[in-house]
Structure 1
Amino acid sequence: MKSWPKWLAAGILAASVLSGCESGSGMNSDHANNGKEAENAAGGAPAPSKAPAASPAASPAAAAVDEQPSTVWYEIFVRSFYDSDGDGIGDLNGVTEKLDYVKELGAEGIWLMPINPSPSYHGYDVTDYRAVNKDYGTMDDMKRLLAEAHKRGIKVIMDLVANHSSTDHPWFIDSAKGKSSKYRDWYTWAEDQGIEKPAAVSATNGQAWHEKNGSHYLGVFWEGMPDLNYDNPDVRAEMVSIADFWLGAGVDGFRIDAAKHIYDDFNTSKSDPQTAAKNKKWWQEFRTGIMEKHPDAYLISEVWDGPGTIAPYLDHAFNSSFNFNLNDSIRSAVAAERAPDIAGSLDRVYKAFEKSSDGSFVDGLFIGNHDFDRLASAAGSPEHARMAAQIELTLPGNPFVYYGDELGMKGAGRDEFKRLPMRWHSAGSGKGQTTWQKDLANPASSGVTVEEQEKDPSSLLSLYKMLIQWRAAEPALRDGGIAPSTVKGDGIEAYERLTAKERVLVVHNLKGAARKVQLDEATAAAYGAVAHGTSPESRLSGGVLEMAPYSTVVLK
């Protein structure tokens, strides 16, 4: 990646994506509240793409644009996805059975939420890092899934929960026996540190220390998740070895859970530069440890914070990190029907990321995941949810689609309700349907099923497929950088997507009313036709762009 040419750096720098860069709590609700899930308060038909006009020749300056070769990923909670054996719980063989669905959606990679043995339904407290949860199948099932995915050109990454284990893990059980135990120093014990009355507040604003057998161990998230001690070289070596084990089995990389909390343990150390430096050093060591044998492994981190905190981790540690501020910005923009000036904001963010990563980063995009209220519940209307997808899937970076969001599944409040069973059948039951959690958010009458939406060209599922097809068809959408556009208007969000060889202009109308936008002379000269559009009512003529409500066009 290269720095932006000066002519691309113009534009207003919006604060929405960058505000509160250091204010993220880093709180993952799977990791909170004494092991219990935190209780919270409880469009138009897509038009066939028009024949594109020839793309304007890229100027010499365009050769310096910041490209981000991308992959569309699909996040799967295995327990909820597809049940192959009729026990009501999703499993790895079920994921394998539905790889063709993933392929038809257009995704080129899947992220599996934790598949290791665990006493919790969500799996973020691991008892064996080298095994598969028996609810989900066997190691042979996992190897079959990997083989079948790779046959289809689909990559597979899995959650690596490195910050902490379960209290049921044999390491911790041994560690808790006393100071002479083999694994004592694999965890942090207050009394062993000379702390006689531990009462510190954790970095997630909970209790940091928890009593066991007369001593107190460190657990940043809750008492069932004791933090591993990365000052112990044996722990560091073991985590590298675990990663090597799974990469050797065929996994293509990892989503790194709670990445910033390896050393970020206490409320008093959250902004300590030395703590951040230790975190970064460990993850650089981790990457170095796997790169010799697995140079193409993809690492994306959960650093639940702003760009200023994320940037250092892109320095030879992670390929990507999830952009939480961008998720917030898109969600709030579509709900309010206002243009957030994404390109102006990302210009500043990406300069920081580029500098830290020597130009090698790829952004991690998402508008929903397992920790947030479902997009369809939060957006306010189906049109707003569609608009969010139209924005995410036309931005640079790796877009991640949370299973069921492509259908408009709802779910909010308790974390289980954000991870409800995937909706396959219009009747609400049928082959493969998981039943481990009762779904009250998506009644059979809602139309939120694969069976119904696959038949409907105007469905949200059809929209997702079309948007992903746009990315596949247009190198500038798939791999290009982003630059601000002079196209402005009430509720109009516009940006250029560029590679060294071509460019396109993306324009969104976030409003529920039609809009006419006058292109300036230079833009009208560069972009003469609608190459792709979500509505047949959107058209370009004489430098005037007419846009249907809640629509998106790509101009060439």
Structure 2
Amino acid sequence: MRNFSTQIILILTVVLLGSSCAQKEKPEVKNYWLKAGVTYEIFVQSFYDSNGDGIGDFNGVTEKLDYVQELGANAIWFMPIMPSPTYHKYDVTDYKAVHPDYGTMEDFKQLLEEAHKRDIKIVIDMIINHTSTEHPWFQESKKGRDNPYRDYYVWAQKDTIADFLNKKVITLDSDNIRQWHDPGFGEDYYYGFFWGGMPDLNFDNPKVREEIYEIGRFWLEEVGVDGFRLDAAKHIFPDDRPTDNHEFWKEFRAKMEAIKPDVYLVGEVYDKKEIVAPYLPGLPALFNFDFHYTLLESFKEEDGMLLAKKQKEILDFYQEITPEFIDATISSNHDQPRLLNELGNDPQKYKQAISILLTMPGAPYLYYGEEIGMKGLKPDEHIREPFLWEEKDKDTGRASWIESKYSVDGEVEPLSLQRNDPKSYFNHYKTLIALRNSYPALAIGELVLPENEYPKTIMAYFRKTGDQEIFVVHNIGKTEVSFDIPKGFNEVIFGLGDGVNTSGNLTLGANSTRVYLKD
């Protein structure tokens, strides 16, 4: 009888422990959009070609929405989708249409509908700082000083151009020496911050602002997108008029929220935090370029706390402006060399960089193809090469608009081969996104830096929210180091590389990471 009772107790104990372990292994997965959700950046032209013309398209993205969902992303940001004479489409010719290479507006609306069924939000690139020189507004504007569209752009008369030529300085955004351009008829010059094919709109003209607000209404109300990524947000007005820039974006936000109260707006303000922060009242989400560059610097210098301290400094600084800000963190995007190239094609270092991105605070952006280790260097076309879905002879959806130079078979393993490899880049991304979406502290928790000192190559930080606390530690150096971990952190919920914990003393290998949940 005693043996039977003991067996029953043991069985119940095992069942209960098993149930408890199962709950720990599979915590509830949540969607933290807008504040801390994961957004997947797609260049449609290179993503998936559904009709065999060599160019990715909307229907191709629709076919791959289950893949985006499988990866764990909560939203998609589309690089420009409007008609344009260039491959990148950052010079728009029609703000209320889609590029015919990508499909029809009905195709795009079908994509939206299918994305929303999967609880995936859609954000589109909105390029309002400038248009194409082929836009009908500019074609009218250049006809003469009395044309009704003349004041839609910024013009300088030929006899005063000398006063303007050196007015603007070169910034991080532009490599142009001269930003005033001769349209070819020898009378006046127009202003184009980025290059001559992109004339800047004149936002001192109320008619221009109303045109832009109507364009926003069209996409939010008639088409149904969830928000906008605002290109070149710092350059609506000249650099010597920052207050006017700030006020414009407040007005823009108010106009968009009147149409769609939960509209998502993320701005590209490519500068240091002191310049970026004042844009927050108008653009509640801003890209954190400092994160990208400091991440790379940390690896180069093998200075573990460099990024953690920088991030804490930025978050505290933004908090003083508004507690409602959204920190859009990035490890790469369409303007920068692919992250794997930046890290010397080191697989372990690459995995660790992503481990840092996805365990830090913020609303991270993932650039398409990074999750399979795509490669790419300047010029920009080769940072935007076609996604590798299958091995080349089987890849019927691979775009071919450009001959890939870096992301080629033999250099990058296609998704189909990575899916079944637990050690692949794809499964590394997928695991970390699921981890982030499963532990509130990792998604929306406060960033707290440790008080005690660690070896130089150690990056350590706490993430805290409610009754959950997580300790994250990375050794970004080339050799293993040993140190004591805080008491009460015994459960490892994620590990990368080598590490041995002996009674609270952790020996962590080169480019290795541990994430602990507090008991």
Which has the greater radius of gyration?
Answer: 2
**Equivalent position to 2:65, from 76, 87, 99:** 99
In structure 1, the residue matched to 2:46 is 80
Name the residue aligned to 1:365.
329
Report if the CA contact (8 A) 1:254-1:298 is conserved: yes
**Is this contact kept in 2: 1:68–1:397, CA < 8 A?**
no
Which of 348, 351, 356 does residue 386 from structure 1 map onto?
A: 351
Other-structure match for 1:172: 138
Q: 1:476 aligns with which of 432, 438, 441?
A: 441
The aligned residue for residue 145 of structure 1 is: 111
Cα deviation code 1:242-265 (max 9, x no counterpart)? 11111111111111100001112x
Aligned with 2:455: secondary structure?
A: coil
User: Residues of 2 paired with 1:375 and 1:101: CA distance?
Assistant: 22
Check if 1:533 corresponds to 2:512.
no
Q: Deviations over 1:309-356 (max 9, x none)?
A: 1100002x1121111111101122234443143332222211221121
Q: How does 1:179-194 map to 2 (within 5 A)?
A: 179-191=145-157
2:458 pairs with one of 488, 492, 496: 492
| CA distance, structure 1, for counterparts of residue 47 and residue 361 of structure 2 | 28
Partners of 1:119 and 1:125 within 8 A in 2: yes
Higher relative contact order (CA closer than 8 Å, sequence separation 6+):
1
How far, CA to CA, are the matches of 1:53 and 1:78 in structure 2?
A: 39
TM-score normalised by length of structure 2: 0.88
Q: Does residue 437 in structure 1 map to residue 402 in structure 2? A: yes
Q: Identify the residue that residue 97 of structure 2 maps to in structure 1.
A: 131
Q: Which amino acid aligns with 1:235?
A: V
1:20-99 mapped onto 2 (5 Å cutoff) = 69-99=35-65
1:154: Cα distance to partner? 0.6
Q: Which amino acid aligns with 1:136?
A: Y
Q: Which residue does 1:5 correspond to in 2?
A: none
Take 1:68 and 1:168, find their aligned partners in 2: how far apart are those partners? Answer: 36
The whole-number CA distance in structure 2 between the counterparts of 1:460 and 1:375 is 13
Quick one: distance in 2 between partners of 1:197 and 1:541? 70
Unaligned 5+ segments in structure 2 are: 1-19, 25-32
Q: Is the CA contact 2:305–2:460 (under 8 Å) kept in the aligned structure 1?
A: no
Unaligned runs of 5+ in 1: 1-49, 55-66, 265-269
1:278 to 244, 252, 275: 244
2:17 aligned residue: none
Hey, what's the Cα distance between the residues in 2 that align with 1:455 and 1:503?
32
| CA positional deviation for 1:150 | 0.6
Alignment check: 8 A CA contact 1:487 1:517 kept: no
Q: 1:364 to 1:206 in 2, by over 3 A?
A: same
Matches of 1:531 and 1:428, distance apart in 2: 39
Verify the 8 A CA contact 2:463 2:470 in the aligned structure 1.
yes
C-alpha contact 1:447 1:453 (8 A) present in aligned 2: no
Paired residue total: 480
Over aligned residues, Cα RMSD in angstroms?
A: 2.1
Divergent runs of 4+, >4 A: 50-54, 192-198
Q: Which amino acid aligns with 2:178?
A: Q
1:382 is displaced (CA, Å) by 1.8
Name the CA distance, whole Å, in 2 between partners of 1:110 and 1:428: 29
2:180 match: 209
- Which residue number corresponds to residue 59 of structure 1? none
What's the offset of the Cα at 1:211?
1.3
TM-score (norm 1): 0.83
Q: In the TM superposition, what is the alpha-carbon distance from 1:546 to its structure 2 partner?
A: 3.0
**Alignment check: 8 A CA contact 2:385 2:407 kept:** no
The structural deviation recorded for 1:363 is 0.5
Q: Does 1:261 align with 2:235?
A: yes
Question: How many angstroms apart in 2 are the aligned matches of 1:400 and 1:437?
Answer: 25
Q: CA deviation at 1:291?
A: 0.8
Query: Which residue does 1:514 correspond to in 2?
Result: 480
**CA distance 1:303–1:345, change in 2 (3 Å):** same
Match of 2:180, as an amino acid?
W
How many Å separate the matches in 1 of 2:391 and 2:482?
Answer: 39
Provide the rounded CA distance (Å) in 1 between the counterparts of 2:22 and 2:512: 18
Give the structure 1 partner of residue 225 of structure 2. 251
| Distance in 1 separating the partners of 2:204 and 2:87 | 30
- 2: distance between equivalents of 1:368 and 1:495? 22
Q: Where does residue 348 of structure 1 map in the other structure?
A: 313
Please state how far the C-alpha of 1:147 moved relative to its aligned partner: 0.6
Match of 1:162, SS?
coil
The one-letter amino acid of 1:133's match is H
Task: Look up the match of 1:302.
Answer: 268
Letter paired with 2:421: D
Contact 1:52 1:529 survives alignment (8 Å):
no
Using the alignment, how far apart are the partners of 2:232 and 2:188 within structure 1?
25
Identity of aligned residues (%): 42
Please list, as runs of the form range in 1=range in 2, the aligned pairs for 1:420-435 lying within 5 A after superposition: 420-427=385-392, 430-435=395-400
Deviation (angstroms), 1:538: 2.9
User: Does the 8 A contact of 1:206 with 1:220 survive in 2?
Assistant: no
